[in-house]
Amino acid sequence: MMLLWPWAKLEQRAVCAERCKYGSGRRSAAALLTPLPIGRGFLYLVAVIDWASRAVLAWRLSNTLDTRFCIDALEEALARFGTPEIFNTDQGSQFTSTAFTGRLAAAGIQISMDGRGRWMDNVFIERLWRSLKYEDIYLKGYADGREAKAGIANWISFYNGRRPHQALGNRTPMAVWRDGVTGALGDKAVDMTLRHGRSLDNADTLPTGPQPQQQQTGLVA
- Give the Cα separation of 60 and 152 in Å (integer): 10
- Asked if residue 192 is part of any domain, the answer here is no
Q: What pLDDT is attached to residue 189? A: 34
Report, as ranges of residue numbers, the positions in the chain whose pLDDT lies below 50.
1-26, 183-221
- Residue 101 sits in a domain whose CATH number is 3.30.420.10
- Asked if residue 32 is part of any domain, the answer here is yes
Q: What pLDDT is attached to residue 56? A: 95
How many angstroms separate the Cα of 162 from the Cα of each of 125, 165, 199, 203? 18, 9, 13, 10
- Asked if residue 44 is part of any domain, the answer here is yes
Give the DSSP letter of residue 136. I
Domain count, the chain: 1
- Asked if residue 126 is part of any domain, the answer here is yes
- Give the Cα separation of 137 and 155 in Å (integer): 10
Number of DSSP helices (H) and strands (E) in the chain, helices first = 8, 5
Q: What pLDDT is attached to residue 115? A: 73
Q: What pLDDT is attached to residue 178? A: 86
State which residues form the domain around 84. Answer: 13-185
- Asked if residue 195 is part of any domain, the answer here is no
- Asked if residue 139 is part of any domain, the answer here is yes
Q: What pLDDT is attached to residue 167? A: 85
Q: What pLDDT is attached to residue 182? A: 52
Q: What pLDDT is attached to residue 146? A: 94
- Asked if residue 33 is part of any domain, the answer here is yes
- Asked if residue 109 is part of any domain, the answer here is yes
95-153: per-residue pLDDT in tens? 999 999 999 999 999 999 877 766 667 788 889 999 999 999 999 999 999 999 999 99
